[in-house]
Structure 1
Amino acid sequence: MTTTAKEATDKISGVSETLMITLYARYVESQRQDAILRDNKATEIVEKIDYDFSKYAQGWASQLGCVIRAEVYDRLVLQFIQNHPKATIINLGAGLCTRFFRVDNGEITWYEVDFPEVIDLKRKLIDEGNRYRFIASSILETTWIEEIQRVAPVLIMMEGVSMYLTEVEMKTLFQSIVRHLAPVIILMDVIATKRAKNTKKHDTVSKTTAEFKWGLDNSKKLESWGQGIKVTDEIYYLTRFANYPDRLPWWGRYLRFILSAMFKNFGRVIQVEISK
């Protein structure tokens, strides 16, 4: 009996390694009967790679937060696709995101952009196609923009990305998007400034060498980064922890509504519209 060798992940380190946290969260969720979302592709990938996921096993808060956030993104992207069936969608800092397989309508064009070592691993695990393309590039470079065959309207996603960039890097990225891709809608999530100062206390990111660098308390600040930038929606997804008392530790069950109010601003998904 032969055993298929698993794909090595030793080149995935630093910020790139955080992709394993979100992948594992979706994998664990998919095993639950009461799953918030099911991701069969994530299950396939976990079984194909050589990586020690056990270090994230105790990170219940991160696991729940990641899948709630993923469900929010799924819903928003699906709404966009329903309104724009032939849209161009760009996933910046894509990691091993598998959203394309959950929302594809057979007509959209989808780009996944990430560091070369991440894209190299992704190509070993997932097949590209005419409408599903990978770009090996840092999102802070402009080379990825040159590879986009833009067909309006355009949606850009940055899931679990902003907190690992500095404010200057985020602002520069926004300004590049304004210059080269507007009009465009951006979906991104941010963490609060206070939370950005406590990487070592995070239940899963602290198990990697990645560090939080930026947080945002007032989303309207983004509108000062360039002309035509407008924040049109904010979703405080961490408040949904209160909806899942059975997943919380005993103390969290009693305090869930208080904690939801306290942590409301700690993580949120923002929708930004950029006009020409």
Structure 2
Amino acid sequence: MTSVPPPGNDMDPIHLTGAQETLLITLYGRWQDFYSPRPLLADRWSAQVMARILDKAAETRHRMRGVLSGLPLMVLRARLLDEWAAEFLANNEHATVVHLACGLDARALRLRDGCGDGVKWIDVDFPDVIDLRRRIEMPEPASTTDGYTYEMVASSVVETEWLAKLPTGNPTLVIFEGLTMYLSPDDGQLLIKRLMDRFGSGQMIFDSMPRSTRFLLNAFLWLKGCWNFTFDWAIDDPGTLQELHPGLELLTLVRIWDMPGHERLAWWMRLAAFVASWIPILRSLMQVTRFQFQMKR
């Protein structure tokens, strides 16, 4: 595939600050992947959106230069979470999917064909992010008369009001990609407990980073001096999260260099992965986890 120049439009430039600005980085990664010779995710919706806003996010794109090499790993992370979500949906025709910190992700569309008639999908993010999704006319799946529904909720995930309004009664899948590291440890742990209290049973799938990665990335951000955020919550051993509640069980843990599809990365990234596997501080830069939860009543 070959990229096409973005069409002109009259939309105002996109200005995001802090951690919210990183949603443009992950979108850019999915756009790059779509036009690569061997795409890992092949997200055509993200490609369409990026093409429309490419010239409106010039300020962020200029600062992206130092992180472009890591974008394929972000795409692999998204693909693994998609695969786990698809497994859950295949086993639960009537389910609720709550996608926290959805950003400009088209995950609801990527997984639409695997959703049963009884699926309720909710994308959640800050009000200015949800407003941006609407301004750029982010494509979204249509609700149907036979039961499938899609909606967006504008709220910080650490607030409580939004959660109290979500439907309960069906198995629930909670997805949060690229979120844990921006929360404080207290907020992150409390969020997991609140999700369990609200929904009762289901799965949570998300990524996290250990303290060594937090140190390295915060040092990188400090040296660059052009990103207005730092990483906070670090999880060395995701299994310890099971201590938050007796009904929380770790099902799957995948380290960054073991993610399915890594063999399709560029040769230099595969070489970097091999070298990193011998260096303790680089061995586990990030992990992706799948938890099952069941409230004991």
Query: Normalization by structure 1: what TM-score?
Result: 0.89
User: Secondary structure of 1:43's partner?
Assistant: helix
Amino acid at match of 1:65: L
Q: Which residue of 2 aligns with 1:233?
A: 252
Percent identical across equivalent pairs? 22
Q: Which residue of 1 aligns with 2:171?
A: 153
- Tell me whether 1:9 sits opposite 2:14 in the alignment: yes
Q: Of 90, 94, 98, which aligns to 2:102?
A: 94
- Tell me whether 1:51 sits opposite 2:46 in the alignment: no
User: Secondary structure of 1:175's partner?
Assistant: helix
User: Secondary structure of 2:284's partner?
Assistant: helix
Give CA deviations for 1:54-92 in whole Å, capped at 9, x if unaligned. 432453432111011011011111111111123210001
* Paired residues of 1:200 and 1:206 also in contact (CA < 8 A): no
Q: Which residue of 1 aligns with 2:138?
A: 126
User: Secondary structure of 1:38's partner?
Assistant: coil
In the alignment, structure 1 segments of 5+ residues that lack a partner are none
Cα 1:132–1:8 shift into 2, 3 Å: farther
Q: How far off its partner does 1:224 sit?
A: 1.2
* Paired residues of 2:102 and 2:124 also in contact (CA < 8 A): yes
Q: Which residue of 1 aligns with 2:38?
A: 34
Q: How far off its partner does 1:163 sit?
A: 0.5
- Give the root-mean-square deviation of aligned CA atoms: 2.4
Q: Which residue of 2 aligns with 1:20?
A: 24
Distance in 2, matches of 1:194 and 1:72, equals: 23
Distance in 1, matches of 2:278 and 2:258, equals: 7
Q: Which residue of 1 aligns with 2:263?
A: 243
Q: Which runs of 4+ in 1 moved over 6 A?
A: none
Q: Which residue of 1 aligns with 2:185?
A: 167
* Paired residues of 1:239 and 1:260 also in contact (CA < 8 A): no
Give CA deviations for 1:192-249 in whole Å, capped at 9, x if unaligned. 111112323269x975212110111111210111231111110113335862463527
- Tell me whether 1:73 sits opposite 2:81 in the alignment: yes
> Which moved further from structure 2: 77-86 or 17-26?
77-86
> Which moved further from structure 2: 226-235 or 63-72?
226-235
> Which moved further from structure 2: 85-94 or 48-57?
48-57
Distance in 2, matches of 1:88 and 1:206, equals: 41
User: Secondary structure of 1:216's partner?
Assistant: coil
In the alignment, structure 2 segments of 5+ residues that lack a partner are 1-6, 144-148
Distance in 2, matches of 1:46 and 1:245, equals: 22
Cα 1:152–1:264 shift into 2, 3 Å: farther
Distance in 2, matches of 1:70 and 1:122, equals: 19
Q: Which residue of 2 aligns with 1:176?
A: 194
User: Secondary structure of 1:155's partner?
Assistant: strand
Q: How far off its partner does 1:169 sit?
A: 0.9
- Tell me whether 1:83 sits opposite 2:100 in the alignment: no
* Paired residues of 1:56 and 1:207 also in contact (CA < 8 A): no
User: Secondary structure of 1:117's partner?
Assistant: helix
> Which moved further from structure 2: 94-103 or 175-184?
175-184
* Paired residues of 1:239 and 1:264 also in contact (CA < 8 A): no
* Paired residues of 1:245 and 1:256 also in contact (CA < 8 A): no
Cα 1:76–1:245 shift into 2, 3 Å: closer
> Across the two proteins, how many residue pairs are aligned to each other?
270
> Which moved further from structure 2: 149-158 or 262-271?
262-271
Q: Which residue of 2 aligns with 1:117?
A: 128
Distance in 2, matches of 1:127 and 1:59, equals: 27
Cα 1:175–1:122 shift into 2, 3 Å: same
* Paired residues of 2:169 and 2:199 also in contact (CA < 8 A): no
Amino acid at match of 1:5: D
